[in-house]
């Protein structure tokens, strides 16, 4: 899972500042690395490196990022490694010079890599599927053999990308002297949203992963880019949008609404906040049916993602709600940290208890989901250490039993706390007195109420049904093997702050 943004202004020459602000707002989508590339007078200016946005970019970097258009990326590694060489945006010089940022994960990377080498005669320099996606697009664009391109050329190239590429991808690219573009996979698994900001000084256009980035910077939402659609914004501000496949079907990732997206975002016309409210309501209904709620003294969310669901759950059950766990805001999101040891180490650094809210009480802890169980187990123990009488646990999402292959770092089902365990065994493993999960049908209902036109969601990590219809057991075993052979080490690579020259006008 990553965050992407592209901005084009018809007048402003300091667009990098706005991209920086947008990436800061999207920081929750990736905390491993960040990058910005801008274009000015036919040249690219790039800065990218491992680290948080605020640490990657200093004043000296921002002053060198010239131009009225640019793209940015925050990275959470799922394919490839965490090395500087794989920090985005990526760049190819042919044709025209293209920079590119991608959110998602491809499922036919090996086939594409071989095709690019043998048929397209293109060199891939990293293990990143994002570089492969860029080169597939660039190869299709190069086949036109035109000195200057237009929006139809980009649309045709995206159409060919859809025919060759499988998996999840929301992508943003830029061609100097021409403009920016973006497109979304035929299932719309990963989000992409278009907005516009009109000021006295001119008009700015933005493409971003979440609406919160646009709203926070004063943009008016124009539309979600639909599955299979592409959008082109040329350098004078003309917008062109076209459907580039006949096989488009809305199947957005439901885990965006459970965990990844910010609650103040709206994705595909679905409010993340209201979806999580409904998750709390449905969970309350299930607890009312299956538990004696008189045994619950207080409901405490595990911050931050579960707060909305927990608050509504407490309201519906008429049980006291308390912020008994305090989060250290300077610790990264534990789920998206690479490496199980690092996750384990960070939980107690990330959270601390208010003992008064736990001592001699029956506590219901609420989390958005339980994946590896590392955090859950430690928090249950923290509650007991704080004096809790009994510790109950509720998950706003169903049981996670299957790998997600579309951009969420849960490649091996053997890592899951639910692997080869039933609910009672999971409960015992995390040390809770009782455990309850949201039902999948209820979760789908909670999200679908925001947009009834969407009838299908990617729920593969809950039900093992993959919307791209190309995932079998052999594939899952293969990625598990690759995962076991990849430690995601930070390799010693060349400095990723650079200036790239290009003569395209």
Domain assignment present for 227? yes
* 418 and 495 both lie in a single domain: no
* 31 and 175 both lie in a single domain: yes
Phi then psi dihedrals of residue 407, to 5 deg? 120, 10
Q: Could you tell me where the beta strands, DSSP code E, fall in 123-262?
A: 167-175, 179-184, 193-199, 202-208, 220-224, 229-234, 239-243
Give residue 485's pLDDT.
Answer: 65
- Full 3-state SS string of 432-471: CCEEEECCHHHHHHHHHCCCCCCCCCECHHHHCCCCCCCC
CATH number for position 368: 3.40.50.2020
Label the pairing between strands 390-395 and 434-437.
Answer: parallel
Q: How far apart are CA 96 and CA 146, in angstroms?
A: 10
Task: Provide, rounded to the nearest whole percent, the portion of the chain with pLDDT above 70.
Answer: 91
* 236 and 384 both lie in a single domain: no
* 292 and 200 both lie in a single domain: no
Known binding residues for Mg(2+) are: 305, 367-368
Catalytic residue among 2, 446, 459, 461: 2
Tokens representing 499? 């200036």
* 23 and 150 both lie in a single domain: yes
Domain assignment present for 202? yes
CATH number for position 115: 3.60.20.10
Domain assignment present for 375? yes
* Confidence (pTM): 0.91
- Full 3-state SS string of 245-285: CCCCCCCCECHHHHHHCCCCCEECCEEHHHHHHHHHHHHHH
* 10 and 153 both lie in a single domain: yes
* 222 and 371 both lie in a single domain: no
Domain assignment present for 266? no
Give residue 82's pLDDT.
Answer: 59
Q: What is the dihedral of CA 308, 314, 320, 322, to 10 degrees?
A: -20
Give residue 484's pLDDT.
Answer: 66
Domain assignment present for 85? yes
* 284 and 366 both lie in a single domain: yes
C-beta separation of 391 from 408 below 8 A: no
Domain assignment present for 470? no
Is 55 a residue whose pLDDT tops 50?
Answer: yes
Other CB atoms closer than 10 Å to residue 356's CB: what's the count?
Answer: 11
Count, residues in the chain:
505
**CA-wise closest residue to 173 among 268, 240, 117, 92:** 92
Q: What is the DSSP letter of 417?
A: T
Label the pairing between strands 33-40 and 202-208.
Answer: unpaired
* 172 and 80 both lie in a single domain: yes
| Mean pLDDT of the 7-28 span | 95
Is 33 a residue whose pLDDT tops 80?
Answer: yes
Q: How far apart are CA 64 and CA 61, in angstroms?
A: 5
* 112 and 239 both lie in a single domain: yes
> What domain count does the chain have?
2
* 243 and 311 both lie in a single domain: no
Q: How far apart are CA 450 and CA 344, in angstroms?
A: 36
Domain assignment present for 337? yes
Tens digit of pLDDT for each residue in 175-229? 999 999 999 999 999 999 999 999 887 899 999 999 999 999 999 999 999 999 9
Q: Is 2 a catalytic residue?
A: yes
**Domain span at residue 293?**
271-457
Q: Which residue has the tokens 């053999």?
A: 145
Tens digit of pLDDT for each residue in 465-492? 999 999 999 998 888 877 766 544 433 4
DSSP result, 196-213 = EEEETTEEEEEEESSHHH
Helix (H) / strand (E) element for 312: namely helix 307-317
Domain assignment present for 372? yes
* 132 and 246 both lie in a single domain: yes
Tens digit of pLDDT for each residue in 358-395? 999 999 999 999 999 989 999 999 999 999 999 999 99
Tens digit of pLDDT for each residue in 253-305? 999 999 999 999 999 999 999 999 999 999 999 999 999 999 999 999 999 99
Phi then psi dihedrals of residue 119, to 5 deg? -105, -45
Q: What is the DSSP letter of 128?
A: -
The separation between CA 211 and the C-alpha centre of its own chain, rounded to angstroms, equals 13
């Amino acid at each position: 899972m990553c965050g992407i943004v592209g901005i084009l202004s018809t007048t402003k020459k300091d667009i990098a500042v706005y991209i920086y602000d947008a990436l800061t707002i999207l920081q929750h989508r990736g905390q491993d690395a960040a990058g910005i590339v801008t274009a000015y007078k036919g040249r690219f200016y790039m800065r990218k490196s491992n680290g948080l946005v605020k640490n990657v970019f200093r004043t000296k970097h921002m002053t060198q990022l010239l131009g009225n258009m640019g793209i940015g990326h925050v990275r959470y590694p799922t394919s490839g490694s965490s090395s500087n060489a794989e920090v985005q945006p990526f760049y190819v010089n042919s044709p025209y010079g293209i920079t590119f940022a991608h959110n998602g994960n491809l499922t036919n990377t090996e086939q594409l890599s071989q095709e690019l080498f043998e048929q397209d005669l293109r060199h891939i320099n990293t293990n990143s599927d994002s570089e492969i996606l860029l080169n597939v697009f660039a190869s299709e664009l190069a086949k036109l053999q035109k000195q200057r391109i237009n929006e139809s050329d980009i649309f045709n190239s995206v159409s060919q990308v859809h025919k060759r590429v499988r998996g999840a991808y929301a992508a943003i690219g830029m061609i100097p002297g021409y403009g920016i573009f973006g497109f979304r996979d035929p299932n719309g698994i990963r989000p992409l949203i278009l907005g516009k900001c009109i000021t006295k000084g001119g008009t700015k256009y933005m493409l971003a992963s979440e609406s919160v980035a646009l709203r926070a910077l004063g943009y008016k939402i124009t539309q979600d880019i639909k599955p299979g659609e592409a959008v082109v914004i040329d350098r004078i501000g003309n917008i062109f949008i076209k459907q580039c496949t006949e096989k488009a079907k809305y199947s957005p990732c439901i885990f965006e609404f459970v965990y990844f997206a910010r609650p103040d975002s709206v994705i595909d016309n679905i409010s993340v906040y209201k979806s999580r409210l409904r998750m709390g309501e449905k969970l309350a209904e299930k607890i009312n049916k299956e538990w004696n709620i008189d045994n619950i003294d207080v409901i405490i969310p595990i911050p931050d993602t579960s707060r909305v669901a927990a608050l509504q759950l407490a309201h519906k059950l008429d049980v006291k709600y308390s912020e008994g766990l305090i989060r250290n805001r300077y610790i990264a999101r534990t789920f998206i940290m690479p490496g199980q040891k690092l996750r384990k180490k960070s939980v107690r650094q990330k959270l601390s208890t208010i003992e008064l809210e736990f001592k001699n009480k029956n506590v219901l802890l609420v989390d958005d989901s339980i994946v590896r169980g590392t955090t859950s187990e430690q928090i249950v123990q923290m509650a007991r250490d704080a004096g809790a009488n009994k510790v109950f646990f509720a998950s706003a999402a169903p049981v996670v039993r299957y790998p997600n292959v579309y951009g969420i770092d849960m490649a091996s089902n053997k890592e899951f706390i639910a692997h080869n365990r039933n609910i009672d065994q999971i409960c015992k493993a995390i040390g809770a007195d009782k455990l309850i999960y949201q039902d999948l049908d209820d979760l789908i209902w909670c999200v679908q109420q925001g947009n009834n036109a969407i009838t299908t969601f990617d729920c593969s990590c809950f039900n093992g049904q993959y919307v791209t219809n190309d995932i079998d057991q052999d594939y899952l075993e293969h990625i598990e093997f690759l995962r076991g052979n990849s430690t995601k080490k930070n390799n010693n690579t060349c400095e990723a702050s650079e200036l790239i020259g290009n003569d395209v006008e």
